[in-house]
Amino acid sequence: MIYTKDISKSYNNTVVLKIDELTIPRGQSFGLVGNNGAGKTTYFSLLLDLIKPTTGTISNNEIVVDKSEDWKPFTSSFIDESFLIGYLTPEEYFYFIGDLRGQNKADVDALTSKFEDFFNDEIIGKKKYLRDLSKGNQKKAGIVAALIGNPEVIILDEPFANLDPTTQIRLKQILKDLAEKQGVTILISSHDLMHVTDVCERIVVLEKGEIVKDLETNPTTLKELEAHFAGRMEPVEEEE
Amino acid sequence: MIKHFINLEWKQYFRSSYWQKNLALNILMVFLALYFIVVFLILGFALLPILKKVYPDQDPFIVANGFVFFWIMVDLLMRFFLQKLPVMSVKPLLTLPIKRSTVVHYVLGKSALSFFNFLPLFAIVPFGIMLIVNDYATPSVLIWMLAMVIVVLIINFLNFIIEAFSSETELSFLPIISLVAVLYGLDAFGFVSLSTLLGDAFLGIASNPILIVAPLAILAICYSFNFKILKDKLFLDSSLKSKVTEVKVADLSWTKRFGDIAPFMQLDLKLIWRNKRTKSSVFIMVIGLLYGLFFYPQPIYRDMVWLFPFIGIFVTGIFLINFGQFIPAWDSSYYKMLMSQNIKYEQYLRSKFILMVLSVGIMFVLSIPYVYFGWKILVAHFAAAIYNIGVNSHVMLFGGSFNRKKIDLNQRAAFNYQGTGAVQWIIGLPLMVLPMVIFAILNWLFGFETGIAVLIIMGVAGIVFHKKLMKIITQRYLNSKYKMIDAFSQDN
C-alpha cells in the first residue's frame, strides 16, 4: 500500500530522515517507535506531503504523494491539535470533514454514534467549541474525525499521548478492530512501547532518522524493544 | 532582567519568518515614518507664522493652546486604530523567578518608546524654539513643552486603558468613538468649552510652573491604572480562563446553492462570526459605510470629482481589504489539516472570492443613499464596486499566496488585543490609490465618463477572465504550499 524509496529529508545539510526502502502492505497495522528527534513525525509529514522530500519518493497506493493529490480521498490523518478548527463544535467539525470526504450528515452521525463509549459523553452535544475542550478531548475528536469517510489509510501521530487510561484501552480496541475486520492500513507512532506492541502487527524502530529494527510483533517483542531502548539509555550498565 | 527581555524580543522579531518575508513592507514603514517626521517638523516650524497670519489680533500662543484639545482627540482616535500595546509572550515567564511587576513595568515602559510618542516631539520642539525666538519667556516655554510631553504620555497610557476595556466588548471601537464624539459635541455645541478650558490650563502651567504637578499626577494615575489592569491579567487562569460560551448555531443551509464550495463558505462564515478578530472586520464595515460622510457633505470635496473613486473603493471594498489581506492566514492554525484533506484549492479560494464579492455587492447597495449628494457619486461608487470585484478581489487572493504570518485565532496571549496595527492599512493603500490615480488622470484629460468607463472596463475584464486568473492564483498557492505550511506552523 505504502512504498517508500530512497527517501531523505535534510535541513541545512543535517539529515533528519533517511529510509532506503520500506514497504507497508495493505491492511497492516504499522507502528513507528523511536526517541525524540528520531524522525517519526517527519516521516508522517512526508507521507502527507506537508513537507518536501530532499530526495526520493513515497507512494501511497501507487500514487506518488508529492506529484498528485489523488491519494487524499482514501487517506486520513491526525497529527496534532493544529488539525482541529478551534471555532467549530466537534459535531460541526465532523460534518465539515464529512463534507470534504463526501459523507452526508447521516453517514457522519452513524459513524460517530459508534464511538459514544470512546467519547465518554464529553464530546457530542456539549455545545462547546473545540478550542474550549481539554487536550485529551480534543485528541479524541481529532482521532474520530480521522475515521470519517472509510479511509483506507489512517495515520495517527502519538494517538495515546494525553489520553486517560480508559480511553487508551478503548482506542486500542478501535484500532485493532479497524485493522482486523476492515482491512485498513494503520500507521501510528508512539513512545509507549506497550501500547504499540499491543496494537501493531509490525514495529519499526527509528533512530536518528534511520531504520534500526523492523520486527513482526510476537510475545517477545515488547521485551526486545525495552532492551533496545534501555540499552541505548544506559550503555555503561551493560558493560559492567 | 530588562536586558533579557530586550534580548528575547530582538530574537523573536528577527527570527520570525514574517520579518524575513516582508522586508519590503518594513522599508515602506520606515519611509512612512520619515515622511511623518518631516511633516511634523514643518508643522512645528511653520505653526507660529501661520497662526500670526490667520489670527492677527490674537496671541498665537493662546490660539495654539486652544487647539490642544482637538489634537488630543485626533491623537486618541489614531492611536486606537494604529497603536497596539506591545505584545510579549508572558506565559513562559510566569513560572520563572521574575517578579510580575517587572514584566508589567517593562511592557508599559516599552510602550512609552513608541513612535507615536516621538512623533509629536518633532512638532512640539520646533514650535517651542520658534516661541523662544519670538521673545516668549524661555522658562515658561520650557515648562509648556514639558507639559506637552507629559500629555503625549498620558494619551499613550489612556489609549491602552480604553483598549483594555473595549476589547471586552463586541463592538470594540464603539467606546472610543462615542467618547470622542461626546467630548467633541460638548465642546462644539458650547455646553462646556473644553478646548478653552484645556487651553487655559496649559497657559496656566506656562505662567505658573508649580501647576505642572497636575498633569504629572494624571500621568501617574493612568500609569498605575494600566499597571493594575495588566498585573491582574498576568495570571494563567485569567488569560486562559475558558469563557465557555454556549454555541449559537445559525442556519447556513442557504449556502448550499453555491454548490461544491458550500462547506467552505459555511466554514468561512463561522470563522468570521465566532472569532473576535474577524468579527471586528464586520463591524468595521459600518465605519467604512459612513466614511463617505466625512467628505461628501462638505462642498470643497464635492467638487473634487477625482476623489470619488477612492472613497467608492473604500466604502464598497472595506471588508474586502480588511478580510482579504489575511487570506489564507485566517486558516493558518489548521492549514496543515486542510492541506492533507481531500480538498481542491480552487474551491477553497473561490469560497473566499464569493464572500468578498458578496460583501462588495452589499456595501454598494447600502451606499446608494449617497446619491443624495449627487448622481456622480453613485456612478463613481458603482464603477468602484465593479473594479473591486474584478480587480481588487483577485489582487487580494494573489497577494495572499505571499502571506507568511500566522494568525492565532484562539488568541489567548495576554496583552494581545487586536493584533494588527498600521501595517494592515498600508497594504490597502495601493488598492485604493491606483484606481483613483487612473481615474483622476482620465478625468482630467477626457472627462468624467471616460474615467468611469475605464474603471468599469478594467473590472469587467477581471470578471471575464475570472476562471483564468483563478487558475494562475491557484497555481501560485500550490507552488508556495510547503513554505506556507512551514510559516504557519511557527508561532511568531
Give dist(CA A26, CA A3) in Å, integer.
11
* Three cell numbers written together for B96: 520563572
Alpha helix positions (H), B83-173: 91-94, 100-112, 115-133, 138-166
Q: How many CB atoms lie within 10 A of CB A91?
A: 20
Mean per-residue pLDDT, A115-138 = 86
The full set of domain ranges for chain A reads 2-239
CB contact under 8 A, B334 and A75: no
Asked if B266 lies within 8 A of A100 by C-beta distance, the reply is no
DSSP count for chain B of H helices, then E strands: 24, 0
Give φ, ψ of B170 to 5 degrees.
-70, -50
Of B141-145, B183-187, B332-336, give the lowest mean pLDDT range.
B183-187
Interface of B with A in 53-82 (CB under 8 A): none
Is the model's pLDDT at B127 over the cut of 80?
yes
Which secondary-structure segment (H or E) carries B332?
none
Of A49, A75, A96, the CB nearest to B263: A96
Positions of E strands within B420-472: none
Number of separate helices (H) and strands (E) present in chain A? 9, 10
> Could you tell me if A70 lies within 8 Å of chain B, comparing CB atoms?
no
**CB-CB under 8 Å, A132 with B244:** yes
Mutation target to probe the A interface, by most A beta carbons within 10 A, among B340, B482, B488 is B340
* Beta-bridge mates of residue A31: A188, A203
Q: Is B486 on the interface with A (CB under 8 A)?
A: yes
* Chain A closest-CA separation from residue B262 CA (Å): 9
Could you give the percent of chain B with pLDDT greater than 70? 85
Distance CA B99, CA B49 (A): 51
The pLDDT assigned to B384 comes to 93
Query: Higher model confidence: residue B192 or residue B311?
Result: B311
User: A-chain residues within 8 Å CB-CB of B330?
Assistant: none
Kindly state which CATH superfamily the domain A2-239 is placed in: P-loop containing nucleotide triphosphate hydrolases (3.40.50.300)
Please state the φ and ψ torsions of residue A56, each to the nearest 5 degrees. Answer: 80, 180
- What's the mean per-residue pLDDT of chain B? 81
Which of A131, A134, A150 is the best residue to mutate to test the B interface, defined by the most B CB atoms within 10 Å of its own CB?
A131
| pLDDT (average), residues A180-189 | 88
Cβ pairs A/B, distance under 8 A: 78
All cell numbers assigned to A43: 516521516
Which residue of A45, A95, A100 is the best one to mutate when testing the B interface, meaning the one whose CB has the most B CBs within 10 A? A100
pLDDT digits (tens, 9 = 90+) for B338-389: 888 877 788 889 989 998 999 999 999 999 988 888 888 899 999 999 999 9
Average pLDDT value for chain A: 88
The closest CB to that of A48, out of B333, B340, B409, belongs to: B340
Q: What is the pLDDT of residues B147-195, one digit of tens each?
A: 889 999 999 888 888 877 776 666 667 777 888 888 888 887 777 788 8
Contacts of A101 in chain B (CB under 8 A): 341-342
Minimal CA separation from B318 to chain A, in Å: 24
Q: B211 vs B129, B144, B149, B152, B156, CA distance in Å? A: 22, 11, 15, 17, 21
Comparing CA positions, the residue from B241, B237, B236, B269 lying closest to residue B254 is: B269
Distances (CA, A) of A215 to A219, A225, B133: 11, 9, 90
A41 interface with B at CB cutoff 8 Å: no
- Beta-sheet strands, E only, within B55-114: none
B439 CB-near residues (< 8 Å, 6+ apart): B306, B308, B309, B380, B383, B451, B452, B454, B455
Question: What's the rounded Cα separation, in Å, for the pair B75 and B40?
Answer: 13
A132 in B contact zone (CB under 8 Å): yes
- Among the partner-chain residues A82, A92, A97, the one whose CB lies closest to the CB of B336 is A82
Q: What angle separates helix B448-464 from helix B466-479, to the nearest 10 degrees? A: 60
Q: What is the pLDDT of residues B457-468, one digit of tens each?
A: 999 999 999 999
* Backbone φ, ψ for residue A185 (5° rounding): -85, 120
What is the C-alpha separation between A56 and B228, in angstroms, rounded? 58
Contact A205, A213 (CB under 8 A): yes
Task: Tell me if B287 sits within 8 A of B338, measured CB to CB.
Answer: no
Contact B175, B169 (CB under 8 A): yes
A65 and chain B in contact, CB less than 8 A:
no
pLDDT at B114: 80
Inter-chain touch B263–A48, beta carbons under 8 Å: no
* Distance in angstroms (rounded) separating the CA atoms of residues B434 and A161: 54
| Full-model pTM | 0.72
The domain segmentation of chain B, as residue ranges, is: 2-240, 253-488
Within 8 A of B477 by CB-CB distance, chain A residues are: none
Exposed/middle/buried for residue B20 (C-beta within 10 Å: 0-12, 13-18, 19+): exposed
C-alpha cell at B154: 498620558
